[in-house]
Structure 1
Amino acid sequence: MGVLTYTDEHTSVVPLSRIFKASIVDSHILMPKLLPDAIKSIEFIKGDGGAGSIKQINYVGGFVKHQIDELDEKTFTYKYTLIEGNGISDKIEKVSYDIKFEAAPDGGTISKMTTTIYTHGDFEINEEELKAGKEKVLGLYKVVEAYLINNPDAYV
């Protein structure tokens, strides 16, 4: 098994508690509303959203299942593992995400995400595939961020 780990960081002007609640805690409600052309639905097929829950995201072109490993609203941390669906193949066993939100000095938020990809055998992911995955995640984050900026009374 191969293991590839990388870290990304993004800064937002949106306060910590708002962006965490919108992008993590209520993502199953908010994302299908913000991206109806891409996300058909998000549902918990096991659990209620806490640790041990399994969330299925139904895209226009497929689905993914996330196992929630940790969700801590006090420390603003979220850990989950992509366990099934698009992105999992005979070459990739699973992908784990460890996200930590921190207050920025200007009142905004710094989000740090460590992604760990577990591959079967000696399969290596090329830079273009990594870049595409990073851009997709950042794009989702920016959609939520824009919504919160344009709706200052949401998630206060």
Structure 2
Amino acid sequence: MVAVTYDMEIPSSIPAPKLFKAFVLDSHNLIPKILPAAVKSVEFVEGNGGAGSIKLITFGEGTSQLKHMKQRVDGLDKENFTYSYSVVEGNALMGELESISYHIKVVPSADGGSVCKNRSFYHMKGDSMITEEQIKAGKEKAMGIFKAVEAYLLANPDAYN
């Protein structure tokens, strides 16, 4: 199985603890609230958010070619602001991927904000390949969700303190 790796860093003016709470720990509640057309619901079908938990994400109709996906929580460290998860089911895998794994770390920055570091691993089935355009599209969707969470936190400064 071939794996393609992609790294992305996003600076934010939001402090690391607050960003981690909203973007990771409460994302199952917050994202459907602030992006209801894109993400219809996020529910835990196994577990309560810790390692081994399974989330079912249902996407909004007509906003994406995606209908649903399942994510498995691989690791969560609240003290060090790290989170790892894998997409293990759904049409986000495009029939060519075994899974997609994400490793997120939110790092405090000197200016009081933070940097969200993400390393993605695309695990291919057999000798399938993923194109740069497909990776770019995934990156843009992730960036859109991140920026929506950031905008919510900026507009609601008392949230997630």
Q: Which TM-score bucket, shorter chain as reference?
A: over 0.9
Is contact 2:10-2:117 (8 Å) kept? Answer: yes
Partner of 1:122: 127
Partner of 1:107: 112
What stretches of structure 1 of length at least 5 have no aligned partner? none
Partner of 1:14: 14
Partner of 1:83: 88
Q: Distance in 2 between matches of 1:106 and 1:56?
A: 36
Cα RMSD for the two superposed structures: 0.9
Aligned: 1:42 with 2:42: yes
Partner of 1:53: 53
The number of residues matched between the two structures is: 156
Partner of 1:142: 147
- Could you report, residue by residue, the CA deviation over 1:51-78 in whole angstroms, capped at 9, with x for unpaired residues? 1100111112411100001111101000
Q: Distance in 2 between matches of 1:33 and 1:89?
A: 27
Cα distance, 1:95 vs structure 2 = 0.3
Q: Distance in 2 between matches of 1:90 and 1:141?
A: 26
Cα distance, 1:23 vs structure 2 = 0.6
Structure 1-normalised TM-score?
0.97
Detail structure 1 runs of 4+ shifted over 4 Å in the superposition. none
Secondary structure of the structure 2 residue equivalent to 1:114: strand
Cα distance, 1:138 vs structure 2 = 0.7
Secondary structure of the structure 2 residue equivalent to 1:87: helix
Q: Distance in 2 between matches of 1:33 and 1:21?
A: 15
Q: Distance in 1 between matches of 2:94 and 2:144?
A: 23
Cα distance, 1:29 vs structure 2 = 0.7
Cα distance, 1:86 vs structure 2 = 2.2
What stretches of structure 2 of length at least 5 have no aligned partner? 62-66
Q: Which amino acid aligns with 1:46?
A: E
